[in-house]
Amino acid sequence: MNTFPEFFQIDLGIYIEAFVNWLTLHFQGFFNILTTIIKWIVFNIQNIIGIIPWFLWILLIFLCGWKIKNWKSGLSYSLMIFLIGLLGLWNEMIFTLSIVITAVILSIIIGIPIGIYMSYHPRLETWIHPLLDGMQTMPSFVYLIPAMIFFGLGTVPAVFATIIYSTPPCIRLTNLAIKRVPKEMREAAYSFGSSRWQVLTKVELPQAMPTIMAGINQTTMMAMSMVVVSSMIGAKGLGENVLIAINRSDIAMGFNSGISIVFLAIIIDRMTQMISQKYDNI
C-alpha cells in the first residue's frame, strides 16, 4: 500500500525515444542541412567579432555604454571586458559570444513571428502555452540528448539546445505585448484605411517594442545560462573551461572562467535592459 502499483505505471519516455529515432531515420538530410546552416552562421559571426582588435572592442563597449546610459556605465563595462582579457580568456569569450549571438538571433527569428501569430489566434495560444511551459521548466540537460542524436557533438547541438531553452520568453512577451496594444489604436488605424500589415508594422509593433525588447533581454540571459551546460556536448568557450575546472577540481581556473561569464552576462543584461528602457521612453 505504501508504493504505487506497478499495474498503473507507464513509460512515456519510450514513445519519445521512438519518435526521436523516427526523426533521425527519416529526416537526417534535413538535420544535415540545419547543421551546415548553423555552422556557417556561427563561423561567420565568430570571424566578424574576432577580426576586431581587442582595444577596439574595449572602446566600442565604452562608447555603447556611454551612448545608452552614461560614461560611468561605459567605463565599468569596458573594464569588465579588459579584465576578461587580463585573465587570458579573450578567445574563449569570443567563441562563447558567437554561440550566444547565433542562438539569440535564431530565437528572435523564431520567437517574434510565433508570438505575433499567437496574439491573433487565441486557439493556437491555448495549445502553445503548455508547450512553452514544458520548454522552460524541463531541465536544460534533457535538451542535450536529442541535440546530440540529431547533430552529434560540438557547436551545432549546443546552439540547438540553447534555442529550445531560450526561445519561450521571446514568444511569450511578444504575444503579451501585441495583445496589450489598446484596441482603440487598432480601430483608429483601420478606420483610416490601414491594412492588417500596416497596423502591425506601424501601430502594434512600435507600441509593443518595449515589452518585446524585455523578451529579447530574457532570451539573451537564458542563452547565457546555457554556456556551461552546452560545454558538456563539446561546445567550446568559457563554459568548456568551467567544465574542465570541475573535472580537475581547479579552483583558480573555475573562478577565472566563472567570473568572466558573470562579467559578460552583466554587460549583455545591462545593455539590453537600457535599450528596452530607451524604447519605453520614446
Mind listing the pLDDT tens digit of every residue in the chain (282 residues)? 567 677 667 777 787 778 878 877 877 888 888 888 888 888 888 888 888 888 888 888 888 888 877 778 888 888 888 988 888 888 888 888 888 888 889 999 999 999 888 888 888 888 888 888 877 777 777 777 777 777 777 788 888 888 888 888 899 899 888 888 888 888 888 787 778 888 888 888 888 888 888 888 888 888 888 887 888 777 788 888 888 888 888 888 888 888 888 888 888 888 877 776 665 555
**194 neighbors 203 (Cβ within 8 angstroms):** yes
How far apart, in whole angstroms, are the C-alpha atoms of residue 183 and residue 25?
Answer: 48
How far apart, in whole angstroms, are the C-alpha atoms of residue 23 and residue 135?
Answer: 19
- Looking at the chain, the number of H-run helices and the number of E-run strands are 14, 0
The predicted pLDDT at position 278 comes to 62
Residue 142 to residues 134, 181, 195, 208, 209: CA-CA distances in angstroms?
Answer: 11, 37, 44, 33, 32
**200 neighbors 189 (Cβ within 8 angstroms):** no
Domains of the chain with CATH codes: 25-281 (1.10.3720.10)
The predicted pLDDT at position 245 comes to 86
How far apart, in whole angstroms, are the C-alpha atoms of residue 9 and residue 27?
Answer: 32
